[in-house]
Amino acid sequence: MTKAPTPTRHIISINDLTNKEIETIFEVAQGFLQELADENVPYRIGRSTDLASKSILASLFYEPSTRTRLSFESAMLRLGGANITSADPAVSSAAKGESLADTIRVIANYADIVVIRHPRDGAARLAAEYSQIPVINGGDGAHEHPTQTLCDLFTLKSKKKSLKNMKVAISGDLKGSRTIHSFVYALARFGATIDPLPAPGMELPAHVDRRLREEFHCRMVSKDPGQLPGGAIDALYVTADQPHQLSLIPDPEIDYGFLVQKKTDAVYVTRFQKERWTEKERPYPKIDAKFLDEAKYSEASVMHPLPRVNELDISFDSDRRAIYFQQAAYGVPIRMALISLMLQLHKNKSLQKFAGGFARPDHPVYAQPIDTGLHCDNPNCITADPAERRYAANKFYVIEDNSPRRCMLRCVYCEKDVGEGTDAQFVVADTTRKTFSPGLATLAGASADKLKHVVIYPTEAEALAAGFAPREGGKKARAS
């Protein structure tokens, strides 16, 4: 009997990894650091192994990169493997109009694993749908950058031993920074308290904020100890997975002051992501020695995914709290660990099974051809790219919320919630009965089979134009 092929494992989001797998990556990275250390610099890999001597990594970069691409390639060379690189879309077939879906299907024959960076949110997920080899997301638009988060957490862990009960301030462009989005999910999952310090108008996107609260059990707590939890935008996020916090949650009178007053363990600084904004300049906080002089930051490690522009003063580089160059150096052992685990190169049996993934809530998926019904409304989603959308679908997780009962749609590619912040009035059409009902409530509890016979339209007018009639006897459809 032939064995069923193991499904290809991709790392597109930090949430594609379980906490245990993240710990495993750290153990393997630590092993490489010990085995292959540079004698003079404790966090620098100075020697190589031949673990991946028969493997090839492809780097497929559609956006500028220094650290991510070079540390991936250095990691592969230190593992004894080889690299092939496409780092300039202007000199690859992308310049001739070739789609990502076609490119990845070709590259998959030339390499064993691929790391991809792309300016569009959700591009890495689309690439994974067409790839027979493992895809690693090296940053897709403003969506996620999971391997940067692995470096960030590993660095933090090396300084603070445990991630639990840590308080981490995140500063700058929280909206446009993909590093922040992967990082906050991971912080929440490891039980840290998150203290957002956004630049004006650059708060965490609504869908990230919602997931922190609904999926990762974060509580929003006002920074003003006098206020009760909830409501405040200026907030600490508290992860509910910590027993001492769990016991606090049911008590609305609780004094959250201890969290507000707790010293900050790390300040994570990000640059203004000017490539994701129409304005080239905006008011932006500068983190310098004066800012970090505040007593609450006296023991805070200062982190930055780099590159730095002006948001973090260079005079701070010699301060004992500055750990950003170490963070960048860890790109090599972390990526060595990730590549070697994904390619199952370790002899140790417990390291050979790197399958599974984070237990995502099992949301049903609605999928229809890209030219039918509702599209993702994120203009930077890969499904909005004229060259790529033919290869994608209108694909959404159907997310149910029971209080009050309502359904929401989250794009499978960019993971943004559709219609968020608008008064969109979707309608659900039944392709068997040729009727439609207003609102998404009829999707609640729908089976995968039922979802196959559904088309969602952004308006009643579009459902009518597509030949559907308002459902009789159901809730009366609103006039459009």
CA-CA distance, 11 to 469, in Å (whole number)? 43
Token code pair at residue 219: 């509580």
Instruction: Give the nearer residue to ligand NCD in terms of CB position, either 101 or 142.
Output: 142
Q: How far is the CB of 217 from ligand NCD (least distance, A)?
A: 26
Quick check: 380 binds ligand NCD (CB under 6 A)? no
**Near ligand NCD by CB under 6 A: residue from 119, 134, 139, 229:** 139
Q: Is 327 in the site for ligand NCD (CB under 6 A)?
A: no
In whole angstroms, the minimum distance from the beta carbon of 177 to ligand NCD comes to 6
Sheet-wide strand order for 266-269? 218-222, 235-239, 193-198, 167-172, 266-269, 301-303
179 lines the binding site for ligand NCD (CB under 6 A): yes
Q: Does 306 bind ligand NCD (CB under 6 A)?
A: yes
DSSP per-residue letters across 82-93: EEEEE--GGGSG
Q: Which of 125, 178, 335, 416 binds ligand NCD (CB under 6 A)?
A: 178
Structural contact between residues 264 and 297, judged by C-beta atoms closer than 8 angstroms: yes
Indicate the SS3 state at residue 429.
Answer: strand
Length of the chain: 480
Q: How far separated are the first and last CA of the chain, in Å rounded?
A: 58
- Measured from the CB atom, the residue of 67 and 406 that comes closer to ligand NCD is 67
Cβ atoms of 436 and 463 within 8 Å: the answer is yes
Please tell me whether residue 175 binds ligand NCD under the rule CB under 6 A: no
Q: Does 199 bind ligand NCD (CB under 6 A)?
A: no
Q: Both tokens of residue 294?
A: 């505040």
59 burial via Cβ count (<10 Å: 0-12, 13-18, 19+): buried
Q: Are 26 and 157 in contact (CB under 8 A)?
A: yes
| Binding window for ligand NCD (CB under 6 A); candidates: 302-310, 316-324, 372-380, 447-455 | 302-310
The smaller minimum CB distance to ligand NCD, of residues 139 and 229, is found at: 139
CA-to-CA dists, residue 166 to 141, 152, 214, 389, angstroms: 28, 14, 21, 41
Kindly write out the interface string for residues 217-256 of this chain, putting x where it contacts ligand NCD by CB under 6 A and - elsewhere. Answer: ----------------------------------------
d(CA 118, CA 140): 5
Q: Considering only residues 67, 105, 274, 321, which one is a binding residue for ligand NCD as defined by CB under 6 A? A: 67
Q: Is 274 in the site for ligand NCD (CB under 6 A)?
A: no
Count of positions on this chain that bind ligand NCD (CB under 6 A):
12
Given the rule CB under 6 A, which of 303-311, 359-367, 382-390, 459-467 is the region that contacts ligand NCD?
Answer: 303-311
Angle CA 358–185–216, to nearest 5: 75
C-alpha radius of gyration, the chain, whole number? 23
Nearest CB to ligand NCD, comparing residues 171 and 394:
171
**Sole window of 119-127, 195-203, 280-288, 305-313 interacting with ligand NCD (rule: CB under 6 A):** 305-313
Query: Distance between CA atoms of 436 and 323, rounded to whole angstroms?
Result: 57
Tokens of 268: 């994570």
Between 271 and 471, whose beta carbon lies closer to ligand NCD?
A: 271
Paired tokens of 152: 């960030």
Contact region with ligand NCD (CB under 6 A), list: 300-308, 352-360, 384-392, 430-438: 300-308
Token look-up 């001492």 returns 244
Is residue 146 involved in binding ligand NCD (CB under 6 A)?
A: no
As a whole number of angstroms, the distance between CA 7 and CA 17 comes to: 15
Interaction between residue 181 and ligand NCD (CB under 6 A): no
- Which C-beta is closer to ligand NCD: that of 55 or that of 177? 177
Does the footprint of ligand NCD cover residue 13 (CB under 6 A)? no
- Give the CB-nearest residue to ligand NCD: 305
User: By the criterion CB under 6 A, which residues form the site for ligand NCD?
Assistant: 67-68, 139, 145, 148, 178-179, 270-271, 305-307
